[in-house]
Structure 1
């Protein structure tokens, strides 16, 4: 159980830094879509709703206007980070399905119970996930399912979520899904499984994050 807790945290924290593995070729072929992953569309409206969930939760947790403005300043890339997470969830699910990996509701409940005990209670866990990972309380179980899926996929590969073999499996899944990202959110090279240059400002944010990870 302890190992699963640790891996879950590592995988959640890695989403922003490792998102370049989710490759795409952005164009305007899918108007109204923030991304197309296989035969599934992530619409701009769905993305905005997910971001609003986080903002509403942040506002409820930080009623002071000055402090809330500080929260907004710290999470200025929330929309792009949220989309990367939504895409990554689908890629991971495809990789897990290809590997025959499944996660039960009971496993999610057991992981949540253990994390709640570690955090000091349900509310404390929800607050921690909101502050650290930008996960709204209503999405916590979904996120924990993703963490378990990642853990079990890594185990099936004989590795862990920090190793290249795990991310290579996700890159293969993203290739099969033929991910198409709206250009406003970035551009990815599916063959290299890495970011390609773009003039959008968020590239500097991702580059800085990767530099900090390797520093």
Structure 2
């Protein structure tokens, strides 16, 4: 069960990858002020930047010196795009779960968290593990666990698991229903693959994470 939870977290969390630059853009946006539109609802650039700042603040608080913080930033250079991917995927899973009549209670979230805290040696251990392994800051852990539970319960209802095509086909259907539309500076959304993908955008230039910080703005 622990192995399955870990795999699910890796699949469904806004995972953080190895060193890469942040994106910044100049010029006119097709989505002014919006990082994405999902089901007619906007995920604003400000909301995205706030989520990224939450992770950066947690990383800053978790290390002892500037060198360690710089290393953490270097290891999470695609954080902005990964975070947006996670925010969109969250809405897609919620839609798929809603379509299937799947719900998650507060009690279920707390029970899952209690079990994970025991495995991690306490609340602090869980917070550290989720930040380091999945890029989830402490204040977003319950939200992430709800997402995982929704995915697991949806897979169970479908008679499969979260690694199988039947599960992802269901997410693909929900993704198409929502009509996910990303601001080109962050790539595009592939509804079939249920994933954000990079696109060639001539007016997008790359800058170093150290120079630009966590901002995703123009």
Specify the TM-score bucket, using the shorter chain as the normaliser. 0.7 to 0.9
CA distance in structure 1 between the partners assigned to 2:108 and 2:179 by the alignment: 30
Which whole-Å deviations, capped at 9, do the CAs of 1:151-201 have from their partners, x for residues lacking one?
A: 000000000001111111111100000000011111234457677672269
**Pairing 1:59–2:56 present:** no
| Unpaired runs of at least 5, structure 2 | 16-27, 205-218
Contact 2:30 2:184 (C-alpha < 8 Å) held by counterparts: no
Q: After TM superposition, where is structure 1 displaced by more than 6 Å over at least 4 residues in a row?
A: 194-197
Q: In structure 1, what is the equivalent of residue 25 of structure 2?
A: none
Q: In structure 2, what is the equivalent of residue 129 of structure 1?
A: 130
**CA 33–105 in structure 1, closer or farther in 2 if over 3 Å, else same:** same
Which has the larger share of helix? 1
Q: In structure 2, what is the equivalent of residue 163 of structure 1?
A: 164
| Unpaired runs of at least 5, structure 1 | 18-26, 202-215
TM-score (ref. length: structure 1)? 0.82
Contact 2:160 2:166 (C-alpha < 8 Å) held by counterparts: yes
The residue correspondences of 1:89-128 to structure 2 (distance < 5 A) are 89-128=90-129
**CA 191–6 in structure 1, closer or farther in 2 if over 3 Å, else same:** closer
Which has the larger share of strand? 2
Q: How many residues align?
A: 189
Q: In structure 2, what is the equivalent of residue 142 of structure 1?
A: 143
CA distance in structure 2 between the partners assigned to 1:102 and 1:47 by the alignment: 26
**Pairing 1:181–2:182 present:** yes
Q: In structure 2, what is the equivalent of residue 210 of structure 1?
A: none
TM-score (ref. length: structure 2)? 0.81
CA distance in structure 2 between the partners assigned to 1:159 and 1:53 by the alignment: 34
Contact 1:7 1:151 (C-alpha < 8 Å) held by counterparts: no
